[in-house]
Homo-oligomer: A and B are copies of this chain.
Amino acid sequence: MTYVNTGSFVTQPGHRDAVVAILTRHSPQLAASGCLSYEVGVDEDHPDTVFVAETWTSASAHEQSLQLESTREAIAEAMPLLTGEMTQQHFTSVGSPLQD
Protein backbone atom coordinates (compact mmCIF):
# COMPACT_ATOMS: atom_id res chain seq x y z
CA MET A 1 0.00 0.00 0.00
CA THR A 2 1.23 3.47 -0.86
CA TYR A 3 3.12 5.11 1.98
CA VAL A 4 3.04 8.90 2.23
CA ASN A 5 5.64 10.99 4.05
CA THR A 6 5.26 14.76 4.38
CA GLY A 7 7.15 17.36 6.33
CA SER A 8 9.01 20.62 6.54
CA PHE A 9 12.46 21.83 7.53
CA VAL A 10 13.33 25.29 8.79
CA THR A 11 16.59 26.47 7.25
CA GLN A 12 19.20 28.90 8.48
CA PRO A 13 18.13 32.35 7.23
CA GLY A 14 18.81 32.76 3.52
CA HIS A 15 19.64 29.10 2.90
CA ARG A 16 16.24 27.88 1.78
CA ASP A 17 17.07 27.76 -1.90
CA ALA A 18 20.34 25.94 -1.23
CA VAL A 19 18.40 23.22 0.58
CA VAL A 20 15.86 23.09 -2.27
CA ALA A 21 18.74 22.61 -4.71
CA ILE A 22 20.10 19.69 -2.67
CA LEU A 23 16.70 17.99 -2.33
CA THR A 24 15.74 18.38 -6.00
CA ARG A 25 19.06 17.08 -7.38
CA HIS A 26 18.19 14.30 -9.82
CA SER A 27 18.45 10.91 -8.12
CA PRO A 28 17.62 7.89 -10.31
CA GLN A 29 18.17 5.69 -7.25
CA LEU A 30 14.99 7.02 -5.65
CA ALA A 31 12.64 5.71 -8.34
CA ALA A 32 14.53 2.43 -8.37
CA SER A 33 13.95 2.21 -4.62
CA GLY A 34 10.18 2.57 -4.87
CA CYS A 35 9.72 6.33 -4.74
CA LEU A 36 6.53 7.17 -6.69
CA SER A 37 6.60 10.95 -6.27
CA TYR A 38 8.74 13.47 -4.38
CA GLU A 39 7.63 17.09 -4.40
CA VAL A 40 9.93 19.72 -2.90
CA GLY A 41 8.51 23.17 -2.36
CA VAL A 42 8.29 26.52 -0.68
CA ASP A 43 5.63 28.85 0.67
CA GLU A 44 5.97 32.62 0.60
CA ASP A 45 4.49 32.89 4.10
CA HIS A 46 7.44 30.85 5.46
CA PRO A 47 10.53 32.19 3.68
CA ASP A 48 13.02 29.97 5.52
CA THR A 49 11.16 26.68 5.27
CA VAL A 50 11.43 23.83 2.76
CA PHE A 51 8.50 21.43 2.39
CA VAL A 52 8.43 17.88 1.04
CA ALA A 53 5.65 15.42 0.16
CA GLU A 54 6.70 11.95 -0.91
CA THR A 55 4.85 8.78 -1.92
CA TRP A 56 6.48 5.36 -1.80
CA THR A 57 5.48 1.83 -2.72
CA SER A 58 5.75 0.88 0.97
CA ALA A 59 7.02 2.12 4.32
CA SER A 60 10.01 -0.21 4.02
CA ALA A 61 10.92 1.26 0.61
CA HIS A 62 11.08 4.67 2.27
CA GLU A 63 13.07 3.30 5.20
CA GLN A 64 15.58 1.60 2.91
CA SER A 65 16.01 4.74 0.80
CA LEU A 66 17.52 6.48 3.82
CA GLN A 67 20.50 4.15 3.46
CA LEU A 68 21.15 5.05 -0.20
CA GLU A 69 24.49 6.75 -0.73
CA SER A 70 22.79 9.63 -2.59
CA THR A 71 20.33 10.12 0.29
CA ARG A 72 23.03 10.02 2.95
CA GLU A 73 25.12 12.53 1.01
CA ALA A 74 22.14 14.85 0.57
CA ILE A 75 21.31 14.69 4.29
CA ALA A 76 24.95 15.38 5.26
CA GLU A 77 25.06 18.33 2.86
CA ALA A 78 21.76 19.85 3.98
CA MET A 79 22.14 19.34 7.73
CA PRO A 80 24.42 22.35 8.42
CA LEU A 81 21.90 24.57 6.61
CA LEU A 82 18.97 23.55 8.87
CA THR A 83 18.00 24.87 12.31
CA GLY A 84 16.76 21.49 13.49
CA GLU A 85 13.15 22.68 13.66
CA MET A 86 11.07 20.37 11.53
CA THR A 87 7.69 18.67 11.19
CA GLN A 88 6.82 15.23 9.87
CA GLN A 89 3.69 13.21 9.18
CA HIS A 90 3.42 9.82 7.57
CA PHE A 91 0.54 7.54 6.75
CA THR A 92 -0.55 4.57 4.72
CA SER A 93 -2.91 5.52 1.91
CA VAL A 94 -6.19 3.60 1.94
CA GLY A 95 -7.85 5.26 -1.02
CA SER A 96 -8.46 8.29 -3.18
CA PRO A 97 -11.62 10.10 -4.36
CA LEU A 98 -10.01 10.24 -7.81
CA GLN A 99 -10.47 6.48 -8.18
CA ASP A 100 -13.65 4.44 -8.69
CB within 8 Å of B: which residues of A? 2, 4, 6, 8, 20, 23-27, 30-31, 35, 37-43, 51, 53, 55, 87, 89-100
Interface of A is mostly: strand
A96 with B40: CB separation less than 8 A: yes
* Bound CA span A23–B99, Å: 12
In this complex, which of A30, A42, A43, A91 has the most chain B Cβ atoms within 10 angstroms of its Cβ?
A: A91
> From A27, which residue of chain B is reached at the shortest CB distance?
B97
Q: How many whole Å from A73's CB to the nearest CB in chain B?
A: 12
B87 with A20: CB separation less than 8 A: no
Quick one: which of B23, B24, B41, B95 contacts A24, CB cutoff 8 A? Answer: B95
